[in-house]
Amino acid sequence: MRTFSGLAVFLLCFSMAAPARGQKNQPEPLTSAQQEAIAEAGIDADARIGLYTKYLSEHADTIKDLTKRAHSAARSSRIDSALGNFSALIDDLASNLDEYGGRMADMRKSLKALDEAIPRWQAILHDLPAESGFDFARTDALDASNDLAAQVKQLMASQDAYFKEHKDLKGQQWAEPK
């Protein structure tokens, strides 16, 4: 009886651990200091989006610098990883834009800077050499940046219209959706 319960516990533990082994470990695209800075920005939409824009520009510069290195499997792997981090960071920013857009936070200043930065990032992605080691990640990053560009354009238009009509709410960080 004792061996049966021991076996049952072992099998239960093994079955619970199996999904964890199969999951891919995706590295965090931000350093702990960057995560802390974003957390400290809190609900300040302009500050938070400004930080994401800055960090995405740093990631784009890293990708550009990696392309200057000699062709190797390690280089391709690093570019692939950098592109994955870049896409993940774009997805995080897009989620933040959805959240702040629904609250009608005034983020026109940071959206303008973001809108100006996106074409530079896209140019870096387009200029990447065609290599099988990171083609999928590059396509994913380009798709994410295209989606972000469209989202930013739409948000800028809606923000301009909203704050033109509600001049007294200029600069607000939070409003309950109506």
Q: Is residue 80 part of a domain?
A: yes
Is residue 88, in this structure, part of any structural domain at all? yes
- Is 133 within 8 Å of 79 (Cβ atoms)? yes
Burial of 41 (0-12, 13-18, 19+ CB in 10 A): middle
Burial class (CB within 10 angstroms; exposed 0-12, middle 13-18, buried 19+) of 91: middle
Q: Which residue has the higher pLDDT, 116 or 173?
A: 116
Question: What integer pLDDT is reported at residue 44 of this predicted model?
Answer: 85
Q: Do the domain assignments include residue 17?
A: no
pLDDT confidence of 33, banded at 50, 70, 90? very high
Res. 14 pLDDT band, cuts 50 70 90: very low
pLDDT at residue 146 tops 50: yes
pLDDT at 169: 64
Whether the per-residue pLDDT at 143 is higher than 70: the answer is: yes
Which range of residues forms the domain containing residue 57? 32-167
Q: Is residue 21 part of a domain?
A: no
On the question of pLDDT at 4 being above 80, the answer is no
More confident residue, 166 or 177: 166
Task: Let me know if residue 20 belongs to a domain.
Answer: no
pLDDT at 25: 53
Domain-located, residue 58: yes
Looking at residue 174, its pLDDT comes to 57
Q: 16 in a domain, yes or no?
A: no
pLDDT value at 19 more than 70: no
Question: Contact at 8 Å (CB) between 52 and 96?
Answer: yes
CB atoms within 10 A of CB 133: 17
User: Can you list the pairs that 73-81 forms with residues at least 24 positions away whose Cβ atoms lie under 8 Å?
Assistant: 73/133, 76/131, 76/133, 76/134, 77/133, 79/128, 79/131, 79/133, 79/134, 79/137, 80/133, 80/134, 80/137, 81/27
- Domain assignment present for residue 27? The answer is no
Look at the block and give the residue holding tokens 């939070």: 174
Number of domains in the chain: 1
Task: Summarize the confidence of residues 160-164 as an average pLDDT.
Answer: 86
Residue 10 confidence (pLDDT):
38
CATH number at residue 37: 1.20.120
